[in-house]
Amino acid sequence: MKIAHINETTQKQQTIKEHSEATAKLASGFSIEPLKAFVYNMGLLHDIGKYQQSFQEKIVNGKKIRVEHAACGAIDYPKKSGTVFDLMAQFCIAGHHTGLPDGGNMANDNYDATLCGRLSNPERFEDYSDYRNELKLLKTDGKEILCLFEDVRNDREAFLERYAFLTRYCFSCLTDADSIDTANFCTGREERLLSSDFSACLKKLNDRLDSFVCETKLQRARAGLQAQVFEKAAEDAHIYLMDMPTGSGKTLCSMKLALERAVRNNKKRIIYVIPYNSIIDQTVAVFEGLFGDSAQILRHQSSFCVDDGDYDEDYKHLLKNAAENWNAQIVVTTSVQFFESVYKNKRNRLRKLHNMADSVIVFDEVHMMPMAYWQPCLRAVAQITGVLNSEALFLTATMPDFERLVHTYALPDTKICRTVEDKSSFALFQKCEYKNMGEVSADLLVDDARSCPSALIVVNRRKTAAELYKMAAGRKYHLSTYMSAFDRQRTISAIKGDLEKLCADYPDLKDVPAERRVTVISTSLIEAGVDLDFYAVYRELSGLDSILQAGGRCNREGKRRNAVVKVFELGGISHEARVNITRQLIREYQDISDEKCIREYYGRLVDFKDEEIKRNTISSGCKKPKDLPFADYAKRFKMIEDNSVAVAVAADEQSKELIDRLKDTGYTDYRRLQKYTFTVYENELNDLIRQGAVREYGGVFCLINHDYYNSKTGVCFDAPDYYF
552 contacts: CB under 8 Å, gap ≥ 6: 246, 397, 527
In this structure, are strands 709-710 and 714-715 parallel, antiparallel, or unpaired?
A: antiparallel
Q: Which residues pair with 701 in a beta bridge?
A: 647, 696
Give the CATH class of 235-423.
alpha beta
Give the CATH class of 431-592.
alpha beta
pLDDT digits (tens, 9 = 90+) for 376-433: 999 999 999 999 999 999 998 888 899 999 999 999 999 999 999 999 888 888 889 9
428 contacts: CB under 8 Å, gap ≥ 6: 217, 218, 221
Cα(482)–Cα(709) distance, rounded to whole angstroms? 9
Q: State which CATH number among 1.10.3110, 1.10.3210, 1.20.1050, 1.10.287 fits the domain covering 3-187.
A: 1.10.3210
Q: What angle do CA 391, 395, 397 make, to 5 degrees?
A: 160
pLDDT band at 604 (very low <50, low <70, confident <90, very high): very high
Nearest to 506 by CA among 453, 449, 451: 453
Nearest to 541 by CA among 600, 594, 583: 583
535 contacts: CB under 8 Å, gap ≥ 6: 452, 453, 454, 455, 509, 554, 555, 560, 563
Cα(397)–Cα(203) distance, rounded to whole angstroms? 26
pLDDT digits (tens, 9 = 90+) for 145-199: 889 999 998 999 999 999 999 999 999 999 999 999 999 998 877 888 899 999 9
184 contacts: CB under 8 Å, gap ≥ 6: 190, 191
Residue 619 confidence (pLDDT) above 80? yes
Nearest to 122 by CA among 48, 18, 58: 48
For residue 285, give the amino acid letter: A
Predicted local confidence at residue 720, as pLDDT: 66
Cα(37)–Cα(270) distance, rounded to whole angstroms? 27
> Where do the domains of the chain lie?
3-187, 235-423, 431-592, 644-715
Backbone φ and ψ for 500, nearest 5 degrees, come out as -65, -40
29 contacts: CB under 8 Å, gap ≥ 6: none
pLDDT digits (tens, 9 = 90+) for 482-523: 999 899 999 999 999 999 999 999 998 889 999 999 999 999
CB atoms within 10 A of CB 1: 9
Predicted local confidence at residue 574, as pLDDT: 73
H-helix or E-strand containing 299? strand 297-300
pLDDT band at 724 (very low <50, low <70, confident <90, very high): very low
Question: Computed from CA positions of residues 226, 230, 235, 237, in that sequence, does the dihedral angle turn out positive or negative?
Answer: positive
Fold identical between 3-187 and 431-592?
no
365 close to 143: Cβ distance less than 8 angstroms: no
378 close to 367: Cβ distance less than 8 angstroms: no
The DSSP letter of residue 328 is: B
pLDDT digits (tens, 9 = 90+) for 625-668: 999 999 999 999 988 766 789 999 999 999 999 999 999 998 88
Which pairs with CB-CB distance under 8 Å and at least 24 residues apart come from 718-721? Answer: 718/691, 719/691, 719/693
% of the chain surpassing 70 pLDDT? 94
Cα(188)–Cα(183) distance, rounded to whole angstroms? 8
Q: What angle do CA 108, 112, 118 make, to 5 degrees?
A: 65
Nearest to 25 by CA among 144, 134, 187, 174: 174
Predicted local confidence at residue 309, as pLDDT: 61
Question: Which three-class secondary structure state does DSSP give residue 396?
Answer: strand
Backbone φ and ψ for 458, nearest 5 degrees, come out as -110, 125
624 close to 159: Cβ distance less than 8 angstroms: no
Residue 247 C-beta-side C-alpha neighbours within 13 Å? 23
Nearest to 556 by CA among 529, 583, 574: 529
400 close to 369: Cβ distance less than 8 angstroms: no
Cα(17)–Cα(131) distance, rounded to whole angstroms? 8
Cα(468)–Cα(260) distance, rounded to whole angstroms? 48
- Average pLDDT over the chain, rounded to an integer: 90
Query: Per-residue b/e over 702-714, b at no fewer than 16 CB within 10 Å?
Result: bbbeeebbbeebb
The number of residues making up the chain comes to: 724
